[in-house]
A = this chain, B = another copy of it.
Amino acid sequence: MSREGITPRSKDYSQWYLDIVRGADMADYAEVVRGCIVFKPTGYAIWEAMQSGLDQRIKATGHVNAYFPLLIPRSFLMKEAEHVEGFAPEVAEVTRAAGEELAEPYVIRPTSETIIGYFYAKWIRSWRDLPVLINQWANVMRWEMRTRPFLRTSEFLWQEGHTVHATEAEAERETLLILHEVYADFVEREMALPVLKGLKTDREKFAGALRSYALEAMMQDGRALQAATSHNLGQNFSRAFDITFTDQQNTIQYGWTTSWGISTRLIGALIMAHSDDEGLVLPPRLAPTQVVVVPIYKNDAERSQVLETVERITAEWKGRLRFKVDDRENLTPGYKFNEWELKGIPVRIEVGPKDVEKGSVAVARRDIPGKAGKQFMDQAGLTDKVVALLETIQHNLYDRALRFREENTYEVQNYAELQAAVEKGFARCYWAGSTEDEKRIQDELRATIRVILLEPPDHAGRCIVTGQETDRQVIFARAY
């Protein structure tokens, strides 16, 4: 059974995704602005929830926010290109302003390493100025050819952290701190999305990074989505932008920098990880509205009784639950149920005349659609029960996604198994291959190494292409 207007996942996963975005009213195509979308209120509220969860963690780990210019002199990217192999962003250029041609054009930031590097070089003098631990919330622009709402758009929103440290070891600690304590903690606990943590191969790492770490999550079609990246940039950017400091021995040193980011792409990940053929499914901890209460009545007498009960049961919710009472007139309960299911509200509570009589309410879980997810609860002690139910839903979503990933991850020993596995999900295998081997596999199977897993396997094994013994395991998958 699926909802009208939502293509079932089994029929066309890609169309299902677009149907959810439209059905839950999350975004609109900005057809007049190439590759851009409008983040509509329902979609933007999810980004606000993500910002809040991430910002708390970013600050709790000692970082502060700042804001750098949107525009970057084009020469900065040239300078970067001299130092950073493989750097070729598809940028939008500002060539005119106030009616006149600019002597030097600007680009709209595709990411801010260069402009921030320029200022860090000005600000940092001595080891006493380190570490610099700054994050920025911003819009960025990359002129994309093929776009998909949230997943790939010309303009998107993100946070980008940029830090400078006195030693390589400190920079590496920072890179991993962000990966584990900020990103993985947020994505797993708030988004209920289990992630694999790992290192990118040289082929897949950020241009200019010494090491790129990433979180990879499995979507419901078995494909991988990179949820976050954290880069140890070594001294590459500090050499390009002359970020130096005088150390305690009075020697001038280049700083060790990192950068890390999470974007509105995560909204796409959230949709594709949890939603179903009925619409969006939001994890309770992230949901802007956790509970919707729908009063049901046929006449004025029933209406006043029901609304009185609703007022009473929700009286103590403020500060404990994020909720909405849907008392809109002229809309049927059925219409309202439909809307809130489409929009993924975790719990729906219905209160009708019979509930008033019996001192009960009907409770529907969004994570388990239909009758199986419905139950009656006593009005007495309802708040605690709803709070507990939200936690249950949160854990259920995580467990379900984890089970799904485990069921669709295959230990593969040879190329034939790899080929079969990436049709269905993740392939885990030992790897000692070269960049050329990676490239060939991508050409043949459209699958890439998503991560070299950080957790070492119990025992060594043989590389799937070279046959060499290694304790390095990787995940191959097709990716968004």
Contact = CB atoms under 8 A, between A and B. Distances in A.
Contacts of A36: 69-71
B71 A44 contact: no
Given A65-B45, A92-B94, A97-B92, A70 B38 contact: no
B90 A97 contact: yes
B66 A44 contact: yes
B115 A71 contact: no
Given A73-B32, A155-B70, A64 B45 contact: yes
Contacts of A76: 32
Given A28-B119, A95-B96, A48 B65 contact: yes
Interface in A183-206: none
16 contacts: A30-B69, A36-B69, A36-B70, A38-B66, A38-B68, A39-B67, A41-B64, A44-B66, A69-B155, A70-B155, A90-B97, A91-B98, A93-B97, A94-B108, A98-B143, A108-B108
Contact of A41 (B39, B65, B90, B94): B65
Contact of A122 (B28, B71, B139, B155): B28
Interface string A38-62: 1111001101100000000000000
A67 B91 contact: no
B98 A96 contact: no
B72 A33 contact: yes
Contacts of A91: 97-98
Nearest to A47: B67
A90 B73 CA distance: 19
A477 interface: no
A317 interface: no
Given A97-B92, A97-B93, A33 B71 contact: yes
A32 B76 CA distance: 10
B71 A38 contact: no
A157 B39 contact: no
Contacts of A37: 69
A48 B36 CA distance: 26
A134 B25 CA distance: 14
* Copies of this polypeptide in the complex: 2
A404 interface: no
Interface of A: 28, 30, 32-34, 36-41, 44-45, 47-48, 64-73, 76, 90-99, 105-106, 108, 115, 118-119, 122-123, 134, 138-139, 141, 143, 155, 157
A96 B106 contact: no
Contacts of A38: 66-69, 119
A69 B44 CA distance: 13
B65 A118 contact: no
A98 to B, nearest CB: 4
A458 B119 CA distance: 56
A430 to B, nearest CB: 39
A472 B44 CA distance: 43
A446 to B, nearest CB: 24
Given A32-B73, A33-B106, A119-B28, A66 B92 contact: no
Contact of A95 (B45, B95, B157): B95
Nearest to A96: B93
Nearest to A140: B70
A340 to B, nearest CB: 16
Contacts of A123: 28
Nearest to A330: B128
A39 to B, nearest CB: 4
Contacts of A30: 68-69, 115, 119
B143 A97 contact: yes
Interface centre among A69, A95, A105, A157 (most CB of B within 10 A): A69
A138 B48 CA distance: 13
A70 B139 contact: yes
